[in-house]
């Protein structure tokens, strides 16, 4: 009896010691080595791919953000149509404990999806409303509105829109900026990224990079 207690104690100690030494290897040395090499070799990327414009950081090229001109009386953001607009964002992980903030969209610290099912009435309603908004705002028939313009992404921080959605916004953006549609369309075409190696993923347009280029183009006017 006494012997088996001693054996159990010895075994548990061995388990704990194994855990501690492997914690040092996998939890301290490994991440520090990786961080060291990453910071030395790819410091821009390892620190979040920040984009600067005229010496100021304007965000990360990997994370989406909103382009608003303030909020209305209810606290809902008003999109600034001089700029290209991103996808809708649920951006509210279901694990969020605090009461939802007024504007959780593209909140960098609340990544997440809507998690609404394909037959969920809230989602059906949201998709239809967004479709109507895009169609009216940009003056196109609803049948031309692409899927990514009316659905929220998995991360809620999708930095990209489809080329279709970007092109659909061209006329309105050109008008708001007093520019010709051809000029803006060329800007969009220059920012379309094809599939990686021709077959990986989907073609897309990085909204932040496009808007930075757009602001550079139009800056003289404001």
What mask, x for binding other proteins by CB under 8 A, covers residues 80 to 119?
x--x---x-----xxxxx---------xxxxxxxxxxxxx
Core vs surface per residue 47-57: b (16+ CB within 10 A) or e: eeeebebeeee
Query: How far is residue 20's CA from residue 136's CA, in Å, rounded to a whole number?
Result: 61
| Nearest CB to other proteins, comparing residues 29 and 180 | 29
Contact set for other proteins, span 48-87 (CB under 8 A): 48-50, 53, 56-60, 62-63, 65-68, 80, 83, 87
For the bound state, the minimum distance from the C-beta of residue 177 to other proteins, rounded and expressed in Å, comes to 15
Question: Binding to other proteins (CB under 8 A): which residues in 123-182?
Answer: 123-124, 127-128, 131, 145-148, 150-162
Choice between 46 and 182, CB closer to other proteins? 46
Q: How far is the CB of 63 from other proteins (least distance, A)?
A: 6
Number of Cβ within a 10 Å radius of residue 203: 12
Determine how many CB atoms are found less than 10 A away from the CB of residue 67. 17
Beta bridge partners of 206: 160
Task: Please report whether residue 42 would count as binding other proteins according to CB under 8 A.
Answer: yes
Closest separation in Å from C-beta 49 to other proteins:
5
Three-state DSSP at 70 gives strand
45 vs 180 by CB, closer to other proteins:
45
Taking the CA atoms of 90, 65, 71 and 80 in sequence, report the sign of the dihedral they define.
Answer: negative
Which residue from 173, 126, 167, 115 is spatially nearest to 150, judged by alpha carbons?
126
- Shortest distance, position 180 Cβ to other proteins, whole Å: 24
Through-space distance between the first and last CA atoms of the chain, rounded to whole angstroms: 86
CB under 8 A: which stretch of 5-13, 133-141, 171-179, 181-189 binds other proteins? 5-13
Report the residue from 17, 180, 182, 183 that binds other proteins according to the rule CB under 8 A.
17
Residue 6 binds other proteins (CB under 8 A) = no
Report CA 24 to chain centroid distance, whole Å: 34
């Amino acid at each position: 009896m006494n012997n088996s207690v001693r054996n159990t104690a010895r075994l548990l100690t061995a388990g704990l010691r194994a855990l501690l030494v492997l914690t040092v290897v996998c939890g301290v040395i490994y991440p520090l080595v990786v961080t060291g090499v990453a910071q030395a070799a790819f410091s821009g990327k390892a620190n979040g791919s920040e984009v600067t414009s005229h010496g100021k950081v304007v965000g990360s090229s990997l994370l989406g953000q909103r382009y608003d001109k303030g909020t209305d009386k209810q606290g809902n953001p008003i999109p600034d149509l001089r700029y290209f607009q991103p996808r809708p964002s649920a951006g509210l992980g279901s694990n969020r404990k605090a009461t939802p903030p007024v504007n959780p969209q593209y909140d960098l610290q609340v990544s997440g999806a809507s998690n609404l099912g394909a037959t969920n009435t809230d989602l059906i309603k949201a998709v239809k409303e967004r479709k109507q908004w895009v169609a009216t705002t940009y003056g196109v028939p609803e049948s031309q509105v692409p899927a990514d313009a009316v659905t929220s992404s998995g991360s809620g921080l999708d930095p990209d829109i489809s080329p279709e959605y970007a092109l659909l916004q061209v006329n309105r953006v050109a008008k708001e900026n007093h520019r010709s549609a051809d000029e803006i369309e060329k800007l969009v075409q220059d920012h379309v990224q094809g599939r990686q190696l021709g077959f990986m993923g989907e073609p897309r347009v990085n909204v932040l990079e496009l808007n930075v280029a757009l602001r550079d183009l139009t800056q003289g006017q404001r």
